C-alpha cells in the first residue's frame, strides 16, 4: 500500500541521508515592525516565525473572521440560507466605522451582507448578520465564543461582532492564524469571497482593503483590521505550488506597513521551506497482531492526513518511527489509539500523531480466546 511504502522508505533512507546530507542554511526570520505576528503553514500547522504570538491584542475588524465563521456554520447547518432576506435594524444602520451603506427598514440578502462584511468590512453588515442569526448582537457573541473554544482559541474573547474597541475584546496572533486555517478548511465554497478586489452595493463601489490582493497573485485572502488602539492589522493567506501559508500581522503603523510586513513573512516562508504530505488519512501503515478477536490482524493508520513543513532540501533527512503497545487484545473499536507515529528532523520532533485502529474487531469465540490465551503465555 502506498502509505506503508512511504513509511518504510522514510525509515530505510533516514540513516543514509542523515549521515550524508548537508544541513540547509536557513536565515533567521525577518523582524517585523509590528506588535505581534505569526507565519504558519496551513497544512501542517507548523509555526515558522512568530513574535508575541500568544499576547492578548485588540483584533479590530479581524473579529469579522469569526463573525463570518459563525454565519457559515449556520448556513452549513441549514438554519439560514444565502438568499434569506434580512430586515435592516436601526442599530445596524447607525453603526460607526466602515460601512457597506445598508439602509434602515430595507431588506438585504444574507449573501450580500456577507460580501459587504468580508470585502467592504462593513460594521453595519456584521451587526445585521448577527441580529438575523441570533436575534440580537448580544445573543450572537456567545456563539462566537463557543466556536472559539471548540477551535482551541484559548487566548480569544469576543464582546461584539465588529471588532469595535472594548476592554474584554481580544485575541492573539496564533489564534487568528488557527481561525483562518479553520475557515479555509471548513468553508472553501465561501473562502473565494476573500479574494474579491471590490464590491458594489447601493451604487457604491468599495475596494478590498487587503493591498496584497493587488500586489501578489498568490494571495487570496483574508482580512484587514484597524482601530487607533489596535493599529493596522492583516491576516493573509497565499498558495504557491500547492503550499499554503497564513500570516497574521497586528499592530503596525499604516495600511502600507501591514501589507509590507505580511509580504516579508510570505516571501521568507515560501523561499526557505517546503511542505509535504507523508501519510493519507485512514490508510493502513501496519498490520498489528490482535489477540482473542474475530480477526488476527488489525490494520492501523492515522485518522487525519499528516503533513510536515521542513527547510528546503531537508525532506530526505526525515526520520519516521512508530511506537505500539506490546499486546493488543480484542475488543478494539475503530479509531481507538494503539500507538504513536513520530516524525523527526535531527533532534527536533516535527509531528507526533496517534496510531489508531482502522476497523472494529470484536471478541472471538471461546475457542479463539482459549487458544490465544495459551499462545500469550508463550510470548
For residue 91, give every residue at least 6 positions away whose Cβ sits within 8 Å of its Cβ, in sequence order, or none: 127, 131, 137
Q: 218 catalytic, yes or no?
A: no
Q: Which residue, among 216, 234, 245, has the nearest Cα to 309 in the 3D structure?
A: 245
For residue 379, give every residue at least 6 positions away whose Cβ sits within 8 Å of its Cβ, in sequence order, or none: 327
- State the CB neighbour count (10 A cutoff) for residue 172: 23
State the catalytic residue, choosing from 61, 126, 161, 262: 61
Q: 342 catalytic, yes or no?
A: no
State the catalytic residue, choosing from 121, 126, 237, 262: 121
How far is residue 177's CA from residue 319's CA, in Å, rounded to a whole number?
Answer: 28
How far is residue 354's CA from residue 304's CA, in Å, rounded to a whole number?
Answer: 10
Report yes or no: 164 and 227 within 8 Å, Cβ to Cβ. yes
Report yes or no: 62 and 171 within 8 Å, Cβ to Cβ. yes
Q: How far apart, in Å, are the Cα atoms of 129 and each of 8, 100, 342? A: 51, 13, 44
Angle at 132 between CA 129 and CA 137, to 5 degrees: 70
How far is residue 334's CA from residue 185's CA, in Å, rounded to a whole number?
Answer: 24
Q: Which three cell numbers stand for residue 87?
A: 430586515
State the catalytic residue, choosing from 3, 64, 98, 126: 64
Q: 334 catalytic, yes or no?
A: no
Which residues form the catalytic set? 61, 64, 121
Amino acid at each position: 500500500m502506498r502509505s506503508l511504502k512511504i513509511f518504510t522508505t522514510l525509515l530505510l533512507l533516514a540513516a543514509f541521508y542523515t549521515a550524508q546530507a548537508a544541513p540547509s542554511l536557513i536565515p533567521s526570520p525577518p523582524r517585523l515592525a509590528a506588535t505581534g505576528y505569526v507565519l504558519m503553514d496551513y497544512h501542517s500547522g507548523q509555526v515558522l516565525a512568530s513574535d508575541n504570538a500568544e499576547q492578548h491584542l485588540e483584533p479590530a475588524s479581524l473579529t469579522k473572521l469569526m463573525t463570518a465563521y459563525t454565519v457559515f456554520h449556520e448556513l452549513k447547518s441549514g438554519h439560514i440560507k444565502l438568499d434569506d432576506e434580512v430586515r435592516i435594524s436601526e442599530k445596524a444602520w447607525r453603526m460607526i466605522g466602515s460601512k457597506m451603506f445598508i439602509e434602515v427598514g430595507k431588506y438585504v440578502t444574507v449573501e450580500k451582507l456577507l460580501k459587504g462584511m468580508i470585502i467592504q468590512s462593513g460594521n453595519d453588515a456584521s451587526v445585521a448578520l448577527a441580529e438575523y442569526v441570533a436575534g440580537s448582537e448580544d445573543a450572537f457573541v456567545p456563539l462566537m465564543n463557543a466556536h472559539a473554544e471548540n477551535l482551541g482559541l484559548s487566548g480569544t474573547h469576543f464582546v461584539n461582532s465588529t471588532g469595535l474597541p472594548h476592554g474584554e475584546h481580544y485575541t492573539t496572533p496564533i489564534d487568528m492564524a488557527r481561525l483562518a486555517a479553520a475557515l479555509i478548511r471548513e468553508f472553501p465554497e465561501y473562502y473565494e469571497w476573500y479574494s474579491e478586489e471590490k464590491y458594489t452595493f447601493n451604487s457604491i463601489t468599495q475596494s478590498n482593503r487587503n493591498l496584497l490582493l493587488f500586489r501578489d497573485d498568490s494571495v487570496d485572502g483574508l482580512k484587514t483590521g484597524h482601530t487607533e488602539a489596535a493599529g493596522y492589522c492583516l491576516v493573509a493567506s497565499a498558495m504557491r505550488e500547492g503550499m499554503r501559508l497564513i500570516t497574521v500581522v497586528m499592530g503596525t503603523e499604516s495600511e502600507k506597513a501591514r501589507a509590507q510586513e505580511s509580504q516579508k513573512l510570505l516571501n521568507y516562508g515560501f523561499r526557505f521551506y517546503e511542505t509535504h504530505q507523508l501519510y493519507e488519512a485512514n490508510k493502513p501503515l501496519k498490520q498489528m497482531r490482535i489477540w482473542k478477536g474475530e480477526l488476527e490482524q488489525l490494520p492501523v493508520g492515522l485518522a487525519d492526513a499528516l503533513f510536515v513543513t521542513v527547510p528546503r532540501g531537508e525532506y530526505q533527512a526525515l526520520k519516521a518511527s512508530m511506537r505500539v503497545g506490546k499486546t493488543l487484545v480484542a475488543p478494539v473499536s475503530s479509531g481507538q489509539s494503539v500507538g504513536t507515529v513520530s516524525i523527526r528532523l535531527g533532534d527536533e520532533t516535527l509531528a507526533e500523531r496517534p496510531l489508531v485502529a482502522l476497523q472494529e474487531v470484536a471478541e472471538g469465540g471461546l475457542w479463539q480466546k482459549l487458544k490465544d490465551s495459551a499462545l500469550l503465555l508463550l510470548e
